[in-house]
Amino acid sequence: PIIFCTIVSGISHARDAAKIGRVALTALLYFECVSTLALGVGLGVANLVGPGRGFRAAPEESAVQRHTTQEANHSSRDFVLHIIPDTAVGAFADGDILQVLFFSVLFGFAMMRLGDRADGVQKLIDDVANIMFGVISIIMKAAPIGAFGAMAFTVGKYGVSSLGSLLAAVLVFYLTAACFVCVVLGSIAACARFNLFRLLNYIRSELLIVMSTTSSEAAMPSLLVKLENLGCSKPVVGLVVP
């Protein structure tokens, strides 16, 4: 619901299909390039450092076999067809992000074409989004309990020695992420002529929330507001951030 509401709100507020298309294409190209680079850096560092060496975890063979079989039979054509949901309700019920995104874009463009006649629905969606943000913030208060349970399960199943491997993995991840932010994102920020570290300082509370909960949804409400205060238009923020 959060993704649906924010994307629909962003598109419907734009009232300009050409602008939305340019923003969507630019964001898609940026995400693809930066994500591919991030994956390459992450794989390289993981293979070089090997933070999980020495940790022995026997996976469930049935689950691994089922997953590999599904991926082997999953072609590009199947991937494209899978994006189109059978029903709008089914996309939300199955929790398929791509299907939700597809339906959200269609819904947003339909509202944009209606113009002023969709103002009532637009206000309703904005209100629902604010309510869902409140629900997420309440749920995230229980995140430490979930983290404690996950750690307790890992230690109970694999022993105290597993904490060393987990700590190494966490340290390698954060060091690699910090280098990626400083070098890659810093270079992009320099090309765009803005100070990356001033931006990070401005959204530091949201970054801490994301790091502590491993979820961006809890930080999304305040992040949207802060980006709009910086001068980003509501349609761009509502379309790109989710």
Question: Is 72 domain-assigned?
Answer: no
Question: Is 42 domain-assigned?
Answer: yes
Q: What is the CATH number of the domain that holds 10?
A: 1.10.3860.10
Question: Is 172 domain-assigned?
Answer: yes
Q: Determine the pLDDT at residue 74.
A: 63
Q: Determine the pLDDT at residue 58.
A: 61
State the average pLDDT for the chain.
79
Distances from the Cα of 54 to the Cαs of 59, 158, 159, 166, in angstroms?
15, 12, 13, 11
Tell whether the model's pLDDT for residue 158 goes beyond 80.
no
Q: Determine the pLDDT at residue 121.
A: 86
> What is the pTM (predicted TM-score) of this model?
0.68
Asked whether the beta carbons of 123 and 129 are under 8 A apart, the reply is no
Q: Give the mean model confidence (pLDDT) for residues 172-194.
A: 87
Domain residues for the domain of 217 are: 2-57+103-240
Q: Give the mean model confidence (pLDDT) for residues 90-97.
A: 78
Task: Compute the distance between CA of residue 177 and CA of residue 104 in angstroms, rounded to an integer.
Answer: 31
Task: Compute the distance between CA of residue 132 and CA of residue 49 in angstroms, rounded to an integer.
Answer: 41
Question: Is 118 domain-assigned?
Answer: yes
The per-residue pLDDT for range 35-93, each reduced to its tens digit, is 888 888 888 888 888 776 666 666 666 555 665 666 555 667 777 777 787 787 887 87
> Closest Cα partner for 9 from 231, 230, 221?
221
Q: Determine the pLDDT at residue 83.
A: 78
Q: Which residues of 167-206 are buried (b: 16+ CB within 10 A; e: fewer)?
A: ebbeebeeebeeebeeeeeeeebeeeeeebeeeeeebeeb
Question: Is 12 domain-assigned?
Answer: yes
The per-residue pLDDT for range 199-235, each reduced to its tens digit, is 888 888 888 877 776 677 777 777 887 888 888 877 7
Indicate the length of the chain as a whole number.
242
Q: How many domains does the chain have?
A: 1
Treating both helix axes as pointing N-terminal to C-terminal, what angle do 143-158 and 162-180 enclose, rounded to 10 degrees? 130
Task: Compute the distance between CA of residue 57 and CA of residue 53 in angstroms, rounded to an integer.
Answer: 11
Question: Is 96 domain-assigned?
Answer: no
Question: Is 156 domain-assigned?
Answer: yes
